[in-house]
Amino acid sequence: MSAIRTIGFRAGVTGWAVLVCVGFWLLSGYETTPGETCAPAARWPGECGFVLDADRPTLLMFAHPSCPCTRSSVGELNQVLARCGDRVAATVVFFKPGGTEDRWERTDLWRSAEMIPGVRVLVDVDGREAARFGARTSGTVLVYSPHGALLFAGGITASRGHSGDNLGRDAVVTILDRGQPDRTATPVFGCPLCSSTGFEDRKTCR
């Protein structure tokens, strides 16, 4: 009986370890899977709700107010502007479905963006501006030159919800420091931008 119990115990531990490993593997795969590829406007759209700065690059970040993946993107934007804030005009644009209640978009993510010095925070009803600029995933960053040429399109995190050094943030800083990009595009790690679910059920965003 003792030997049977030992075998059963070992089998249980082995099964638990396998499940843990599979769980970590699935989570890792999800974290490193980018969102839908951006199809950015190569030139600043003539009809849009934003003003292109004539003296310095203009940076737009498109965000869903309930996407937890985008928290790290907002944090990385704060890092960029702490270093280059006087050399860029930055706006964070939050999606809001038409017909939703007043202040639907005013989540803690909105408040975090508002706290970044020098950043404008605006509402994009029904994602019209996101569609005009070709942004499809929350956390998409677009940088345009004062003449309206697209300099960068992509994300500024290395994976979903991950903060720290990454190619996207480095590319944006290089553009603002030197005026010339060493990389023009990176993947965006976030949830679908124009979703009305709010991700409360966590089916789309984990």
What residue type is 92 in one-letter code? V
Domain 58-178, CATH number (from 3.40.50.620, 3.40.30.10, 1.10.760.10, 3.40.50.2300): 3.40.30.10
- Lowest-confidence region among 14-18, 45-49, 162-166, 168-172: 14-18
pLDDT digits (tens, 9 = 90+) for 3-45: 555 554 444 444 443 333 333 333 334 457 867 877 899 999 9
In this predicted structure, the answer to whether residue 191 has a pLDDT above a threshold of 70 is: yes
Q: Give the dihedral sign, CA 132/167/94/30.
A: positive
Total-model pTM: 0.80
202 band by pLDDT with thresholds 50, 70 and 90: very low
Q: Which helix (H) or strand (E) holds 84?
A: helix 70-84
Q: Quick one: 174 exposed, middle or buried, by C-beta within 10 A (0-12, 13-18, 19+)?
A: middle
| Domains of the chain, residue spans | 1-31, 58-178
Helix (H/G/I), strand (E/B), else coil: 192: strand
Q: Between β-strands 140-144 and 58-63, what pairing exists: parallel, antiparallel or unpaired?
A: antiparallel
Q: For the chain, where are the E strands, in sequence order?
A: 58-63, 89-96, 120-125, 140-144, 150-154
